[in-house]
Structure 1
């Protein structure tokens, strides 16, 4: 049985089935009858000995040529959610638009608190206002961080992100009234300068800060425990050290989250549908930077 395929065969469309049927038909045909006996022709007798093997009998062989092979690199590129540059560009633009809207809303709320004397005095007399924001703030944060389907569902994700930003602005405004206006303005300017510098560094450096995700999380837990201990300890230098460590930690977090946003050859990447999650991460990094820088400026100015 001889089966030879000289042209490329697409096995996914069933083109190979006619080859299989052809091979089966050829094997099912009965061999031809015995040839008619003919009298031996006169001539010299053949010499006795071992018969020679039939070397001209062709062996069955199959030749299958498959074209348009896909390399592993091409498969990975097709499977990547950011295989097209336009998808990545649109993702980055959407994240920065959301982040800009969050920062503008937060800055406007802080400005109302620090430039409105009546509201400032009311917050000083009503400490319950600050404590009442915490449960709602952390509740919305947990929903955004844990509910992946809800985080990707429009318009629920935008509503939750807007509510979270509004609550965060109220909390920052309530905290800012306990500082002088110039201290808050200096903290805003320093935060903007640090954020811009770290963003440019994250875009230019070849170091992969996404590998530090686990280490930074452990450092965050340690810093949180340190902050709880400082509630019961009144020490100027320990509080100053706490503010400095928090500034360094969230600077590293900002670099890592920017690298997650831009993607490329980094170890960890985000999905294109996680634009709300990416904006939330960078927003929290900037806000925490502002809080720790404000503490540094406030401690050093007193």
Structure 2
């Protein structure tokens, strides 16, 4: 990234990565009070700074669209989880397969965009 004081961004990235690995790999870090609260606070602050820095490079409208889409998905999933009798935790293989499908679709879109180059359709999709 070519911006002034980029070292602080990279420091927050390293902090995020270290606290993430510590929280995921070390049960004692995530289960002992007050260490778990401190680690989660450091993780949240580092990730928030990274997110703020990255979003500062994008258009305001694009960021707001991403926020609205994320909020709608969270609300839809919460409403589904509240009202349904289906236990989704038993469908882990289905969720895994669907995640792979979404990931491969995204990868295919990136490859098609890279091979075909910028065109009107891809700009319309990426611009809004």
The TM-score, its normalising length taken from structure 2, stands at 0.68
2:99 is the alignment partner of 1:299? no
> Partners in 2 of 1:234 and 1:132 — Cα distance?
34
Indicate how the Cα distance of structure 1 residues 161 and 130 shifts in structure 2: closer, same or farther if over 3 A, else same: same
| Residue 135 of structure 1: how far off its partner (Å) | 2.9
1:223 aligned partner: 103
**Cα RMSD for the two superposed structures:** 3.3
Unaligned 5+ segments in structure 2 are 117-123
3-state SS of 1:179 partner: coil
- CA contact 2:29–2:39 (8 Å) conserved in 1: no
Indicate how the Cα distance of structure 1 residues 174 and 234 shifts in structure 2: closer, same or farther if over 3 A, else same: farther
2:73 aligned partner: 194
| Residue 192 of structure 1: how far off its partner (Å) | 1.7
Matches within 5 A, 1:106-117: none
- CA contact 1:183–1:298 (8 Å) conserved in 2: no
The Cα offsets for residues 70-91 of structure 1, whole Å up to 9 and x where unpaired, read as xxxxxxxxxxxxxxxxxxxxxx
Structure 1 segments, 4+ long, off by >6 Å, are: none
Indicate how the Cα distance of structure 1 residues 234 and 190 shifts in structure 2: closer, same or farther if over 3 A, else same: same
> Partners in 2 of 1:298 and 1:146 — Cα distance?
38
Indicate how the Cα distance of structure 1 residues 131 and 234 shifts in structure 2: closer, same or farther if over 3 A, else same: farther
> Partners in 1 of 2:14 and 2:125 — Cα distance?
26
| Residue 166 of structure 1: how far off its partner (Å) | 0.6
Name the count of aligned residue pairs.
Answer: 115
Indicate how the Cα distance of structure 1 residues 152 and 184 shifts in structure 2: closer, same or farther if over 3 A, else same: same
3-state SS of 1:235 partner: helix
| Residue 298 of structure 1: how far off its partner (Å) | 7.8
